[in-house]
Structure 1
Amino acid sequence: SMEVLPPLSRVVRSLVELSELSEDENRKLELKDQAKRMQGYLMGLSEVSELKDEGSVYWLERAGKKNQIIHLRSAPLDIASVLRRDLFGKQTSIIMTSATLTRKGKADCFKSQVGAEEVKEGIVHSPFDYLSNMQVRILMDSPEPMSGNRDPYLNYLVEAIHGSASAMEGGTLALFTNYSDLKYAYHHLLPRWQKIGRSVYAQGEGFSRSELRAKLIEEEDALLLGAESFWKGFDAKGPCLSQVIITRLPFENPSHPVMEAKTEILAEAGKSSFIELTLPSAVIRFRQGVGRLIRSQADVGDLLIMDSRILKKNYGSQFLSELPNPNYESLSLSELLGE
């Protein structure tokens, strides 16, 4: 790997030599530390430029406000073998807990993904009374979110969020699968919410996640629009979060390098990446999103699912079967708005 980037190799060598020549103990340690860091960069660059591991996928990513920061990324395509060897094979006690590890009441899918096939599983049912405490409504006439002309969908999105959230006495969390739809909704809802004297907040509009949570709890009747990290681990108990809106079923971006590479492997084996990958991970994320609503035994709330594909597509039943309350009402936008 030292031959890959000769100038960087020379810097590493010079740092090592300088550290050996230095008589000042602190400087010696500092130079050694920097040499070690540079060596790490060198190894990373050489791994990416030579695509060293056949079992990994490598890609470049732009980041930062002006897209001027370039990240070199790599990810292993199979983590099961590594975890089997380095974690489960170590004869140590391990407990893995989560509310969303199972599918159809079994953890098989998760166990094979992480190499924990031999691990015992136990399923504990929720202490919450979802049948009494959670109302589920599904909109049945939402336009196709991915159609060429997105205006009908975006207008529908804004009207449905505005109508359902402004009718709530408490607060609402609307979950999005992408930032462009979130931004569109925010800018169109803001003037309407200012008119009714209530706050609307959005991820990426000046506040951190913990500040947004504090505002939702403090104001008790705000509307919060969130994407990725708000689907999981976001906790706001009581009436400040009286409604969760799932704007779209949370399918991952199929063009992400890791998804693309896994899709290629499955295609070679004659398997469908949608059935094996996309659908299972979307169902888990859907469950995580639904889980934002009822956070304690006394909590009550409304769940509004805006994606009509859950009723119309064959795969919809896989999402519906994971609802904690299976009794849902399907309605049109005009019925929702009371027209």
Structure 2
Amino acid sequence: MHATFPLLQATDFPPIHRAKLTTVQVNLGYLCNQTCVHCHVNAGPKRTELMGKETVTHVLAFLHAQPQVRTLDLTGGAPEMNPHFRYLISEASELGVKVIDRCNLTILEEPGYEDLAEFLATQQVEITASLPCYLEDNVDRQRGNGVFEASVRALHRLNALGYGRQGSGRVLNLVYNPQGPVLPPSQQNLEAAYREHLGEMDIAFDHLFTITNMPIARFGSTLVSKGKFHDYMRLLRESYRPENLDTVMCRGLLSVDWQGFAYDCDFNQMLHLPLGAGSKPRTHITELLGKDLQDEPVAIADHCYGCTAGQGSSCGGALA
């Protein structure tokens, strides 16, 4: 259990129940070529956890057994660093499932990944790319020196392959995370600002997603060390909007970790919060092959206020 979990466990957050399952989000491992301060996974170059081939086949079996699931959302770490990344995409595409790659952009320039962009384009993989700001200093401060320039080069390369270009069918979304313990600004207004600034660099994209930083893992530990954890939680709680409950991502998403265990969302996965808050500590995806999860309870804790604060937050951006 993560160090911040004792601070989140007691909660008065309202109960949530699942709707129809439409998306499976799979964490292929914590290995990453970057170490970002806002990372809720604690990913980095020294992490060794990676999903094996057998577990990948379990994921594919689940997709086959649950035909209502139309989206496979791949995350990490850098999911592309998993040796079975391309196999999983190819097989899922054969099942007619849309695949999303949560890409940090700089991976496209790493040795051994020179043809990655072309592979993603050929497979019509939707790319959701992290670009926490359109200003170089802000990005490099959050993600490391030189990351902004590398990201710009990667975006130009993706644009050249048709990503972000109208009518191409190759979708490119960008993701914004706040620099610190504040809520994201208006997604609509910020998207307009991104288009203006990135347009000056001849960069095109489809949508901007604003995502609230969660008070867990690396970001949560940073808040605790700086004495800002309780202030941030107060902000999230005071910004709670009940109308966001209807569209929180955990209602239609199942999160799977690198070992194949299932959780209600990626954040619960990082907190090792069991699926449905049941008495069983862990549920493997192989136990859910023929199971209908609709109306099942969702495991909750105080971090859930992060998804319902202000305009709301999900892996697909703002809820409101």
Task: Specify if TM > 0.5.
Answer: no
Bigger share in helix: 1
Rg larger for: 1
Superposition TM-score, scaled by structure 1 size: 0.28
Higher RCO by CA contacts (8 Å cutoff, separation 6 or greater)? 2
Superposition TM-score, scaled by structure 2 size: 0.29
